[in-house]
């Protein structure tokens, strides 16, 4: 909420990065937090003048001189505050005016960092690592290695059928509980390495990512929030977006070569199987996967998925004779055309994944839970009893974590 603003009030902003103009808008945001929005030329001018420490009266005068109308600075500053762009007690002048966080960023532009903001979650990863220590990751010789991994994996899987992963590769041990624990440990270790590849590449560009637990539809995932890469040119953003996938393919290449050399340990095949699922998952662009961000960067989009959900909500309301519930007036016409193409794909993909979960995963899980419960009737000193206890504890932990993430994200969105 903005109060007691006068012409002599001076508002202090955090250091903001202003990107190049694309389609009449610029990306503006804080590199230290990764919070970015899109602003038209008028908003960019306001940010520049406020950043120079000019009093609001001078800002109004310059805006009116350039655009022929006075700006609604109260609304604009409310938007800047809700994005976390204003310093605490950031305004000074007659009457001791202050500016603080308030309502939605109606005057601040289109958010580009879903889930970001002053309350966003996650732990900064490799924040104290000097960028020059990992700059070699982006050197030309390394790019040749990366391209080689993208070519090697599909080539080997096509030419050598015996290397192709099968569901049997997921069984590393004989015991059900022991196998579940080992597979979960291997899978999450691979996920952590995937996210560290993102974080290291982001750091090589001089910015920092944040690691957190999130969800994609009904899947619990780890993610590296790297909105701060919007401070670098678009052509340089592909490296951090593709870093996790590239690491997966490098590791897969090594495992496949080991198998060609005669090492057929079940763990090696299990790693290939798990990485194959991970790579396929990253191409499901109806979720916020790595390739989704690559696509958004290539097409120069803001919040494609968020805007698509709002567009679908408006279309649903229109079908039942109600007015739109979301204002999409700030979304560029070019992006709206892409949304109309993306929306059916997003909707059908989400429905297909949900249907597969209900038809395949849920029945299998119900059966295994039933077997685990039956095991509780066994003697306490028997293996069946402790297999049941361990499996139920593992399921409960995953469901509780998913529920916590779901509730936390809903509260943040609200």
pLDDT at 102 over 80: no
- Phi, psi torsion values for 222, nearest 5 degrees: -95, 150
**Looking at the DSSP assignment, which residues form a beta bridge with residue 131?**
none
pLDDT tens digits for 129-146?
999 999 999 999 999 999
Give every CB contact of residue 88 below 8 A, 6+ residues apart in sequence.
Answer: 100
Quote the pTM value: 0.83
Mean pLDDT (the chain) is: 86
Rounded mean pLDDT, 388-393? 88
Residue predicted with more confidence, 385 or 238: 238
pLDDT tens digits for 344-389?
999 999 999 999 888 878 887 888 888 888 888 888 888 888 888 8
Residue predicted with more confidence, 275 or 265: 275
Going 218 to 284 to 228 to 27, the CA torsion angle's sign is: negative
Report helix, strand or coil for 324. Answer: coil
pLDDT at 91 over 70: no
Rounded mean pLDDT, 111-126? 64
In terms of Cβ atoms closer than 10 Å to its own Cβ (0-12, 13-18, 19+), residue 236 is: exposed
Share of the chain above pLDDT 90, in %: 46
Starting at the edge strand found earlier in the chain, the sheet holding 123-125 runs 123-125, 209-216, 219-225
pLDDT tens digits for 168-180?
898 888 777 788 8
Rounded mean pLDDT, 115-124? 60
DSSP summary character for residue 16: -
Give every CB contact of residue 140 below 8 A, 6+ residues apart in sequence.
Answer: none
In terms of Cβ atoms closer than 10 Å to its own Cβ (0-12, 13-18, 19+), residue 317 is: middle
Name the most confidently modeled range: 25-39, 89-103, 250-264. Answer: 250-264
What distance in Å separates the CA atoms of residue 375 and residue 389, rounded to the nearest whole number? 8
Rounded mean pLDDT, 181-207? 93
Residue predicted with more confidence, 114 or 233: 233
Share of the chain above pLDDT 70, in %: 90
pLDDT at 319 over 50: yes
Nearest to 203 by CA among 226, 234, 230: 226
pLDDT at 185 over 80: yes
Residue 102 near residue 83, CB atoms below 8 Å: no
Rounded mean pLDDT, 272-276? 95
């Amino acid at each position: 909420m903005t109060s007691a603003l006068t012409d002599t009030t001076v508002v202090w902003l955090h250091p903001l990065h202003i990107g190049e103009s694309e389609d009449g808008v610029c990306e503006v945001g804080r590199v230290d937090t990764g919070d970015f929005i899109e602003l038209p030329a008028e908003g960019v001018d306001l940010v520049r003048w406020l950043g120079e420490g000019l009093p609001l009266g001078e800002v109004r005068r310059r805006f009116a001189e350039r655009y022929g109308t006075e700006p609604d600075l109260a609304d604009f500053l409310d938007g800047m505050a809700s994005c976390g762009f204003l310093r605490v007690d950031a305004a000074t002048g007659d009457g001791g005016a202050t500016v603080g966080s308030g309502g939605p960023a109606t005057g601040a532009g289109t958010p580009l960092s879903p889930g970001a903001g002053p309350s966003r979650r996650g732990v900064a990863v490799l924040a104290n690592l000097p960028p020059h220590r990992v700059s070699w990751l982006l050197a030309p010789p390394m790019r040749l290695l990366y391209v080689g991994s993208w070519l090697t994996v599909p080539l080997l899987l096509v030419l050598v059928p015996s290397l192709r992963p099968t569901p049997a590769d997921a069984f590393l041990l004989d015991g059900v509980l022991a196998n579940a624990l080992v597979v979960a440990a291997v899978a999450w270790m691979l996920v952590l390495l995937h996210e560290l590849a993102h974080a290291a590449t982001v750091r090589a560009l001089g910015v920092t990512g944040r690691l957190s637990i999130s969800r994609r539809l009904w899947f619990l995932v780890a993610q590296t929030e790297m909105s701060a890469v919007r401070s670098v040119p678009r052509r340089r953003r592909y490296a951090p977006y593709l870093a996790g996938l590239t690491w997966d393919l490098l590791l897969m290449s090594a495992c496949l070569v080991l198998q060609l050399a005669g090492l057929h340990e079940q763990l090696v095949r299990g790693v290939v199987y798990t990485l194959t699922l991970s790579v396929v998952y990253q191409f499901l662009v109806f979720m916020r996967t790595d390739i989704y961000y690559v696509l958004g960067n290539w097409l120069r989009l803001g919040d494609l998925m968020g805007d698509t959900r709002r567009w679908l909500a408006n279309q649903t309301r229109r079908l039942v004779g109600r007015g739109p519930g979301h204002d999409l007036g700030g979304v560029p016409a070019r992006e709206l055309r892409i949304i109309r193409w993306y929306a059916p794909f997003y909707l059908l993909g989400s429905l297909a994944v949900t249907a597969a979960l209900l038809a395949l995963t849920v029945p299998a899980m119900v059966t295994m839970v039933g077997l685990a419960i039956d095991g509780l009737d066994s003697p306490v000193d028997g293996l069946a009893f402790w297999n049941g206890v361990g499996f139920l504890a593992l399921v409960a932990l995953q469901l509780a974590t998913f529920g916590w993430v779901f509730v936390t994200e809903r509260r943040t969105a609200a």
